[in-house]
Amino acid sequence: MVTGGAGYIGSHVVKALGDKGYDILVYDNLSSGRAKAVVCGKLVEGDLGDRAALEKTVREFRPDAVMHFAAHIQVNESMSKPLKYYRNNTSNAFTLLETLAENGVDNFIFSSTAAVYGIPDITPVVETAPLSPINPYGASKMFVELALKELYGLEKINYIALRYFNVAGADPEGMIGQNYKDATHLITRALKTAKGEFDKLKIFGTDYDTKDGTCIRDYIHVSDLAQAHILAMERLLKNREGAVYNLGYGKGYSVREVVDMTRRVTGIDFVTEETRRREGDPAELVADSSKIREALEWIPKYNDLRFIIETAWNWEKKL
């Protein structure tokens, strides 16, 4: 069972699960996801806050494992609407966990985020770094992680929380990709600017203590991320585990570097404007992912910023 399986990351994981022959049920309220992004399995339109609908779905489908993607994802929005994030990302996750416990479902894969680290003292960041989110988005995910750890200690759940760094790119076969009305993520925003949907791309902050003054992020291709979810699920189906893994490539790119690569890939010299910092942004977030490489034998295939942007551009051109 995949909550949020009609969204950007969820739909890529659903496709990867389908490619491996798994029986899939997607539970999604379609608030930001799209029915046609669900390329395999069955879609049930429902909200996580609707306990009765959720319960009925769990009872009927009887999942062996649940992957929980459904969430709000915009760091900036969370700064001005914290309760929206705590309600959907934290409170609704607890409703889901209660419903699963009541129905004997105990394998849970959780979409967490590098935002739980806040401003890390040491980069690349390892999983044992302190959790100290600087925005409600990161905090809303951290609370779920804390609950999972406690439930695992009580032997009530098996779980793997995957802390994503900056997920980008699109299905290399071109079937699916990111498709949000108000995309705020850098690569999507840059591509939409190249396409002419926006006049210019704003560069938020050029006075960070980084090599070129702009923020540094670790961009990971969504299909590599999807494979990690399958490895995580297969591990839980075999072993009892309560674990947290970072997911990134361990290499950071600045906003300016991403802009340059986007210009090269698209061949379009779109306009940028340097503006003040965006609230809630740490200067640098780069993953140390050696733990998942070793423990789950995750071997990324698309560790290449150009390929990430090319696949996203191929998709964006179809929208």
Catalytic residues: 137
Place of tokens 């190249």: 194
The residue to which tokens 């069972």 are assigned: 1
Tell me the window of 13-21, 278-286, 290-298, 306-314 that interacts with ligand UFG (CB under 6 A): 278-286
| Under rule CB under 6 A, residue 202 binds ligand UFG | yes
Q: By C-beta, is 43 or 309 nearer to ligand UFG?
A: 309
For 253, residues 6+ apart whose C-beta sits below 8 A from its C-beta are 216, 217, 218, 219, 261, 305
Give the CA distances from residue 36 to residues 5, 61, 146, 317, in Å, rounded to whole numbers and listed in that order: 11, 21, 34, 17
Give buried/exposed letters for 293-303 (b at 16+ CB in 10 A, else e): beebebebebb
Tell me how far, at minimum, the Cβ of 192 lies from ligand UFG, in Å. Answer: 9
From 93-101, 170-178, 200-208, 300-308, give the range in contact with ligand UFG by CB under 6 A.
Answer: 200-208
Calculate the CA dihedral of residues 261, 266, 270, 273 and round it to 10 degrees.
-30
Nearer CB in complex with ligand UFG: 84/189: 189
> Are 245 and 296 a contacting pair, CB within 8 Å?
yes
54-91 in b/e form (b: 16+ CB < 10 A) is bbebbeebebebbbbbbbbbbbebbbeeeeebbebbbb
- Among 16, 17, 96, 215, the residue binding ligand UFG under the rule CB under 6 A is 215
Among 97, 176, 186, 261, binds ligand UFG (CB under 6 A): 186
165 near ligand UFG (CB under 6 A): yes
Nearer to ligand UFG, 159 or 164 (CB): 164
Binding pattern for the stretch 121-160 against ligand UFG, x by CB under 6 A and - elsewhere:
----------------------------------------
In the range 66-125, which residues lie near ligand UFG by CB under 6 A? 73, 75, 113-115
DSSP codes joined into one string, 74-135: -HHHHHH-HHHHIIIIIIHHHHHHHHHHHTT--EEEEEEEGGGG-S-SSSSBPTTSPP--SS
The DSSP output letter for 276 is: P
Least gap, CB of 138 to ligand UFG (angstroms)? 6
**Does residue 203 touch ligand UFG according to CB under 6 A?**
yes
Helix (H, G, I), strand (E, B) or coil at 66: strand
Least distance CB 7 / ligand UFG (angstroms):
12
CB-count exposure of residue 26 (10 Å: 0-12, 13-18, 19+): buried
Task: By CB under 6 A, name the one of 12, 68, 72, 185 that touches ligand UFG.
Answer: 185
Query: By beta-carbon distance, which residue lies closest to ligand UFG?
Result: 215
Cα–Cα distance for residue pair 277/293, rounded to 1 Å: 34
By C-beta, is 139 or 236 nearer to ligand UFG?
Answer: 139
Judged by CB under 6 A, does residue 201 bind ligand UFG? yes
Q: Does 281 bind ligand UFG (CB under 6 A)?
A: yes
**At its nearest, how many Å lie between ligand UFG and the CB of residue 152?**
23
109: β partners? 67, 160
- Residue nearer to ligand UFG on the CB measure, 117 or 298: 117
Q: Which of residues 246-275 bind ligand UFG (CB under 6 A)?
A: 255
278, 290, 303, 310: which one contacts ligand UFG (CB under 6 A)? 278
User: Which spans of this chain sit near ligand UFG (rule: CB under 6 A)?
Assistant: 73, 75, 113-115, 165-166, 184-186, 189, 201-204, 215, 217, 255, 278, 281, 285
